[in-house]
């Protein structure tokens, strides 16, 4: 994938760096990172796991981008309504197409493979930062159906056991 610098990104980066210098901060602004989530028919190591996102939980920093890569055919990634922080735009990728989401707002982002959500193809992105916990209860309260319900229970248990501090 080619690397492109957009004018907007340059201006935002320069503004952030200038703000840190002006504030007397001894450290530079953190560069945004790109993370990849694969959409798979079968887990590469645990063959019993089928129709999955890998990893199914991704912890990132505000401003990072998550790229959903169609490693196998027949999948997409779409944010789940009511499982993203208020003020953040969701995404809805096409089947068999790579889609990316740059997540600026800290919080919990649930997503699914539209054709396979009922068999549990769901995942979670946790964006660290101030206000991260603001939508946790709402995201956990979204009604899930089919096998996705059990998978979400596993995901929330894993999240509860994680150290999400920066």
pLDDT in tens, 34-61: 999 999 999 999 999 999 999 999 999 9
Cα 57 to Cα 139: distance, rounded to the nearest angstrom:
14
If asked whether residues 5 and 59 sit together in one domain, one would say no
> Considering the domain boundaries, does residue 47 fall inside one?
yes
* Distances from the Cα of 58 to the Cα of 17, 18, 36, 131, 145, angstroms: 27, 30, 9, 18, 22
Tally of domains within the chain? 2
Straight-line distance from the first to the last Cα atom of the chain, in angstroms, rounded to the nearest whole number: 29
Query: So what's the pLDDT on residue 28?
Result: 56
Look at residue 79 and tell me whether its pLDDT is greater than 70.
yes
Confidence of residue 30 (pLDDT cuts 50, 70, 90): confident
130-152: average pLDDT: 96
If asked whether residues 118 and 106 sit together in one domain, one would say yes
Q: Please state the φ and ψ torsions of residue 156, each to the nearest 5 degrees.
A: -65, -35
Instruction: Compute the mean pLDDT over every residue in the chain, rounded to the nearest whole number.
Output: 87
Around 108, how many Cα atoms within 13 Å sit in the side-chain half-sphere? 23
If asked whether residues 127 and 52 sit together in one domain, one would say yes
The answer to pTM > 0.95 is: no
If asked whether residues 125 and 81 sit together in one domain, one would say yes
The sign of the CA dihedral 141, 145, 148, 151 is positive
Cα 69 to Cα 106: distance, rounded to the nearest angstrom:
23
If asked whether residues 86 and 108 sit together in one domain, one would say yes
> Considering the domain boundaries, does residue 166 fall inside one?
no
Query: So what's the pLDDT on residue 31?
Result: 84
If asked whether residues 122 and 76 sit together in one domain, one would say yes
Q: Which residue blocks in the chain are alpha helix, DSSP H?
A: 7-22, 136-140, 146-161
If asked whether residues 78 and 92 sit together in one domain, one would say yes
Look at residue 82 and tell me whether its pLDDT is greater than 80.
yes
Q: Which domain holds residue 73?
A: 33-161
């Amino acid at each position: 994938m080619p690397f492109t610098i957009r004018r907007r990104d340059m201006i935002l980066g320069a503004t952030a760096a200038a703000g840190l210098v002006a504030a007397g901060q001894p450290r530079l602004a953190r560069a945004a990172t790109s993370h990849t989530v694969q959409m798979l028919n079968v887990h590469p190591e645990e063959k019993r796991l089928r129709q999955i996102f890998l990893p199914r939980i991704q912890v990132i920093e505000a401003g990072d981008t998550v790229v959903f890569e169609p490693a196998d055919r027949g999948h997409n990634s779409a944010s789940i309504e009511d499982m993203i922080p208020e003020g953040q735009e969701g995404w809805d990728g096409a089947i068999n197409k790579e889609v990316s989401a740059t997540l600026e707002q800290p919080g919990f982002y649930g997503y699914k493979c539209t054709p396979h959500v009922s068999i549990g193809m769901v995942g979670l992105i946790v964006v660290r930062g101030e206000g991260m916990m603001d939508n946790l209860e709402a995201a956990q309260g979204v009604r899930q159906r089919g096998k996705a319900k059990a998978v979400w229970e596993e995901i929330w248990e894993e999240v509860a056991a994680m150290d999400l501090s920066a």
